[in-house]
Amino acid sequence: MHADTGGLAMCSPQWVRQRQCSSNTICIFISYVNIFFVLFLCNIINITEAAAARITLPGNASVSAVIIFGDSIVDTGNNNNNFKTLARSNFPPYGKDLKGGMPTGRYSNGKVPSDLIVEALGIKELLPAYLDPTLQPKDLLTGVVIAAGGAGYDPLTAQVAVVASLSDQLKQFKEYIKKLKAIAGEERANFIISNSLIFVVAGTNDISNTYFLTGLRKLEYDVPSYTDLMLNYASVFVKDLYGLGVRRIGVLNTPPIGCVPSQRTVAGGVLRECDEKQNQASQLFNSKLSAEVDDLNKNLPNSRVVYIDIYNPLLDLINNPSKYGFEVVNKGCCGTGIIEVTKLCNQIQPAGTCSDDSKYVFWDSYHPTERAYKIIVQHILDKYINFFF
């Protein structure tokens, strides 16, 4: 069951009010009995859903830590002190639904996939950014986020955004390993690394920004050859991680980037429809990435490299919003919802934010809401977790 769909409609105040009556004393009494029963049932449903979000690992399997590389989909604050880049989100209204309503550098209204994964695995509630100045040594034992918003497989993508590229992130990972060994000792550190779940989330910015929006790669590459370039960098990165002792790697494919609000605005015409050129580029890259992951599994001994599809789950939210209780798919909750992202999504922009972000698939014009992320992450873990063991 998905939150806010089907039977959960009765959990809304509007549903309760519609079923109250005041024609006589008996009717009022019956109404309040019904209201009490509905509220009680809603509480039971909410508790059940929260429990269902936890993942049970197969057999005696365990996960020591979660470490995540890539871009803004999973970044939890690594760009906060990088004042050279516009790809930051450590200001309101970002993070308004996190505990305390404080912006942390997460590119959403609340938790992002990094947090939801470790929470579902029972490791910790939030996965901290590696560059967070308040990071404690003990935090390293259970994993961090090394991803940087604005990055991609193509080094030019990070260079244009002035953020840490995947090669920079790999250097940070090497630093992380050294710190881990100093804290836990070499033997335990090696065990933590080999027993961790590693996720790589990149490619969206390559397609949407470096290729289509700026056209920086169009003179040199067509879409097939550019996706080959992306694939080569992705493959090398996975091999580099393996060389550092990583054995469980989840590689997420690229989403239907042509359907995010900003790309509808830029390339979707007057009706702001999905840009099929970008979606087709994503699909082409994804098909190549899937085949490459199969090859990597065959050629990297004792490894579990898992291809993870997020293209279709997100597209299903967009194409069938009512199935999941969503109402708005072509605009974000922040501002007008058609262009605002990072610096443009701020407290002083006149449009403010929507009154109920749970009805929106997207928080800003580029990134989903926490509620959309929850549905996608639950799907990912349910479908793919056993492939890591």
Q: How far apart are CA 56 and CA 54, in angstroms?
A: 7
- Helix, strand, or coil here: 70? strand
pLDDT digits (tens, 9 = 90+) for 160-174: 999 999 999 999 999
**What was the pLDDT predicted at 308?**
98
Backbone phi and psi for residue 251, each to the nearest 5 degrees, phi listed first: -110, 110
Parts of the chain with a pLDDT under 50: 1-52
**What was the pLDDT predicted at 53?**
64
**What was the pLDDT predicted at 71?**
98
- Helix, strand, or coil here: 122? coil
pLDDT digits (tens, 9 = 90+) for 15-49: 434 444 444 444 443 343 344 444 444 444 343 34
- Tell me the DSSP string of 285-329: HHHHHHHHHHHHHHHSTT-EEEEE--HHHHHHHHH-HHHHT--EE
Residue corresponding to tokens 């308040």: 134
What angle do the packed helices 166-184 and 186-194 form, to 10 degrees? 140
CA distances from 287 to 179, 300, 379 (A): 37, 20, 20
Residue corresponding to tokens 């920086």: 216
Q: How far apart are CA 216 and CA 157, in angstroms?
A: 9
CA distances from 136 to 63, 70, 187 (A): 20, 22, 21
**What was the pLDDT predicted at 45?**
39
pLDDT digits (tens, 9 = 90+) for 249-274: 999 999 999 999 999 999 999 999 99
Catalytic residue numbers? 72, 364, 367
Q: Kindly list the structural domains of the chain, giving each domain's residue range(s) and its CATH number in brackets, ordered by start.
A: 50-388 (3.40.50.1110)
pLDDT digits (tens, 9 = 90+) for 336-369: 999 999 999 998 888 899 999 999 999 999 999 9
Residue 170 token pair = 């790999």
CB atoms within 10 A of CB 79: 29
Burial 250-260 (b: 16+ CB within 10 A, else e): bbbbbbbbbbb
**Cα 114 from chain centre:** 7
